[in-house]
Chains A and B, each alone.
Chain A
Amino acid sequence: MEYEAVIGLETHVQLKTKSKMWCGCANEFGAPPNTNVCPVCLGLPGVLPVPNEEALRLTALAGLLLQGDIPRFAKFDRKNYFYPDMPKNYQITQYDQPSTINGQVEFELDGRLTRVRLTRAHLEEDVGKNFHFDRSSGVDFNRAGVPLLEIVSEPDLTSADMAYAYLNALKDILIYGGISDCDMEKGMVRCDVNVSVRPKGQKELGQKIEIKNMNSFSGARKALEYEIPRQIEVLQKGGKLVQETRRWNDVAGITESMRTKEMAHDYRYFPEPDLLPMVPTDAWLAEVRQRVVELPLARKQRFMRQYQLPVADAETFVNDVPLGSYYESIVAQTKSPKSVANWVINNLRAKLTETQTTLADLKFPATAIPELVGLVESGQISSKTAQEVFAETFATGESPAQVVQKKGLLQVSDTGAIEKFCDEAIAANPKSVEDFRAGKGAALNFLKGQVMKLSKGKANPARAGEILEQKLKG
């Protein structure tokens, strides 16, 4: 029998705010333990949480970028449980009336446009971080109360690769929107994976198994690559799966049972009495809507369509947003968008890396690269000279035309001048002349090289080749 997997993902991302969700402590990674804490995020008695405006805006913005809806009424609830990293013994989250509902993430998988529907994206708070020692554990509450967005997908995913592609697409969108930095190394993104299998064609879902707290996308993919065949094997052997929570053991490369349904939590959600409901106004939503940006996939498709760029170039401009924006700011000045893209991607990027500078440090005007492309395409300079000109333009800020003039680099296309260099090259290299006449085509390239050398690289190489050939054959 053939089986299929049904996967849903709950992705948690830390929002990019300066301060925490309910208090003014810094939302900052890497500070010494328990230094960004106050009575509110330590859960001391008698405190009152107050929502961070920017976190509310970023949540709504995420809802818009994920093509969801922003309900006109949302509230916070308490999710009750005991765990040392949760000082209040409840987590403030959104239960039945979240800040965003519905939505979708679109991405390419094996070259095909794929869509995963979202159930909701709701706002909650992160918990402290645990450290485990031999006989005890330690807790750092710097992370407690950091705004956390939980994005819940519908069970639309069917494979480990699809889950991986979805997570990456989601991350790209959130980074684009400035919603989260999504830095995995800093634990800014974590996800829970829900996966079940069923015989192909069967309507009812199989027993759902949850894999908790994956802190890398490749880990989530590996866990699914292990877990899906494991479940199928149990069923094929006539076994039964029970609903349970499992943990991914990255070292052993397996999932392990954590708890079964009998031990399931009873969170006793109820409305958070310390926080007032949110009723987004038209004006507030309009303000958030101004921050909506073009999504990565749309940007890629537009770069390919509008500038006729190949996939690789478009992807470079999607991944490096400032570079793409720079390209867009200069491309209108040229008739050769592809050549300008080559210069930006290959030469400009290399120079920036080499000099450890950014686009903000550029000394040359926005007209420089289109001008340089124009000089090459009109045959005024060779593409080799263009490299030299670009290096000078990059270093000094002088326009390519100025550099060409100053250094006398204008390509010589004048037949008389090139003929003179050709004659010199022929006279100085009788052996090569002989070789060419004996049928060795490569000898012509050598002679052409000599002409370029004699002309200090200024001879039009195509013209030089033509003239040499005429002279040798004549």
Chain B
Amino acid sequence: MARAATIERITSEPVLAQLVRARPRWLTWNWLGVLPFFIFLAFFQLGPALNIAVGALTDDRGHITLDNMQKIIGDEKLQVQRNSYLNTLEISVITTAAGGVLGFLLAWGITLGGLPRQIRLSVLSFCGVASNFAGLPLALAFIAAIGRTGTLTHALASVGISIYPAFSMSSFWGVCLAYTYFQIPLMVLVMVPPLDGLRSEWREAADNLGASRTQFWRLVMFPILLPSLLSALALLFANAFGAYATAFALVGAGAGESMVVSISVRAQFSNDSMTNPHLGYALAFGMILVIGLTVLIYTWSRQRAERWRRSIK
């Protein structure tokens, strides 16, 4: 009797319908709308990223190990790769500082500094274009300007100043110069909204309470701007650290391998029969770690800035 009832229950409703009814509560049809995107992301970003993480943290037999990562720090044979990390860190710090300062000054000029509205619009437009101009065209533009046979080089030489061979566009400082070029617009674009959010009433209030200009900047402006500044600088750093095209075009694959980590990673591509395939994974994973940390700082700072901005509305 019971057996007949069970058989009737199982066959009376299609199996698929029963499965659908038995699914967990949160798995609604709504997920279908976002599924294509997430599947795509899984294939084209999450999968590769996970693969790199696994490749970096395991050895040939599949056991988890920090060996690959430690080798970059310790192994003498990997001096080139180690140098690439140090050099890239240096380049990123230098260009973040330079781009940050110059970008901030320009951003300040077009917001609090009182430059005309038309100038502000033109600067913002140009920054939008300039930050997209980065990469190969930028490198070529710098070579055209102050490369060995560049127009500015010639112009300076004709008045007696010869910058070569002391300076070369294909060097560490050439790369720094080119990077600064796209760091400045990024800084401007990121700092203009927070600077716009500063109120002139605060300056009046400070004046009322007898604050000097220095005190105003040190005790009022700077603390307020600090989270936005920090997030902007973190973004610039991440930007510089992960850059590839500009350095590649200026320095080339050979010298670039010891100068920029991204070129170092790229160099691992052609090595199908390398002694340690995990080196490429470790280098790539290292990049993700460094930039990941920077982006964490960026996110945290931004949230602090947002929270503060909301609290004063």
Genuine A/B complex: no
